[in-house]
A = this chain, B = another copy of it.
Amino acid sequence: MNTGKNHKIVDCTVRDGGLVNNWDFSVDFVQYLYKCLNEAGIDYMEIGYKNSPKLLKGSESSGPWRSLKDDFLHDVIGEKQTTKLSALVDIGRVEVNDILPREKSLLDLIRVACYIQDVDEALKLVRQFHDRGYETTLNIMALSNVKKSHLVEAFKLISHSVVDVVYIVDSYGSLMPKDIRNLVKRFQKHLPNKRLGAHMHNNMQLGFANTLAAADNGVELLDCSVYGMGRAAGNCPTELLVAQLKNTNYSLRPVLDMIEKYMIPLRDIEEWGYLIPYMITGMLDEHPRSAMAFRNSSDKNMALQFYDMLTVPNVNS
């Protein structure tokens, strides 16, 4: 990685990892993570979603990081340190008036996730968060499935927007490093006035490699999570990104501290990472939901059965 460039690390453990355990992280866990990320010099911690509980199904059974409340966040964080705080929102699930002006909030960055067809709606939200003083990103999901012509349409909208950073999101973990290089070049060509970010998944064991490919080609914001914790196959591991940036001001030791104290025990009771059903949905460029359901069934190790379900016509009919 070109360590001379201005890379920034965005740790998504609580937000994306919450998709694994229904955001059932204790306050102790999140406080310790915040301490470790600060000590490690990580630039941003995405501490959850800022969606409205009223607009979410089943939110009453979820942990508090799924719909962050400002008072709660103040209690958890206490005195703010140097790692900035981020929250993600989804179109149709966020109540704009839940987002305080930045000077009254502990959050620094609001990220808006959307599919390609909703970029215009997403940019309307971005505008409002920008006007309230936040840094903003637009995270375009499932890019592996997007047609070039749709992307070019979206670029036109984005280039005229106020959004600070545009994310390349490999939601299905199906892209190869060469795909990432090509996507980054296309984004740079069409959005010369925007900074870029990358959020990769590990279905094909390429989360870290694809993040490196993005970074080497000039992508600035690099998403990751400690021990790779994230939906299904998980994300680029924070510890690998920090280890690779070892000649910078990042420190690996606090990340290993978090792994030893919390992540290794957590991995014993929650499941994420490279597993064959996730590899298969990644290879097929599909959402991992079928694989997640399969891993929750008694057949979870029947790799061949799952492959046939997804590839042999009528095997399920």
A213 near B177 with CB under 8 A, answer yes
A152 lies within 8 A of chain B by Cβ: no
The contact string, 1 if C-beta is below 8 Å from chain B, for chain A 127-162, is 000000000000000000000000000000000000
A269 lies within 8 A of chain B by Cβ: no
Q: How many copies does the complex hold?
A: 2
Interface of A toward B, CB cutoff 8 Å = 1, 176-178, 202, 204-210, 212-213, 216, 237, 239-240, 243-244, 246, 252-253, 256-257, 259-260, 264, 273-274, 276, 279, 283, 301-305, 307-308
The CA-CA distance from A303 to B256 in the complex, in Å, is 6
A-B contact pairs, 11 of them (CB 8 A): A176-B244, A177-B209, A204-B244, A205-B209, A205-B237, A205-B240, A239-B276, A244-B283, A253-B307, A256-B303, A259-B276
Given A260-B302, A260-B303, A276-B259, does the pair A246, B283 have CB atoms closer than 8 Å? yes
Rank and list the top 9 A-B pairs by shortest CB-CB distance, nearest first.
A209-B209, A260-B303, A243-B283, A256-B303, A205-B208, A264-B301, A260-B304, A256-B304, A259-B303
Distance in Å: Cβ of A217 to nearest Cβ of chain B: 11
> Which residues of B sit under 8 angstroms from A246, Cβ to Cβ?
283
Distance in Å: Cβ of A181 to nearest Cβ of chain B: 11
Given A209-B209, A216-B178, does the pair A243, B304 have CB atoms closer than 8 Å? no
The CA-CA distance from A74 to B274 in the complex, in Å, is 36
Given A259-B276, A264-B303, A283-B246, does the pair A207, B205 have CB atoms closer than 8 Å? yes
Further 11 A-B residue pairs, CB within 8 A, beyond A204-B240, A256-B307, A257-B304: A177-B213, A205-B205, A208-B209, A243-B279, A244-B283, A256-B303, A259-B276, A260-B301, A260-B305, A264-B276, A264-B303
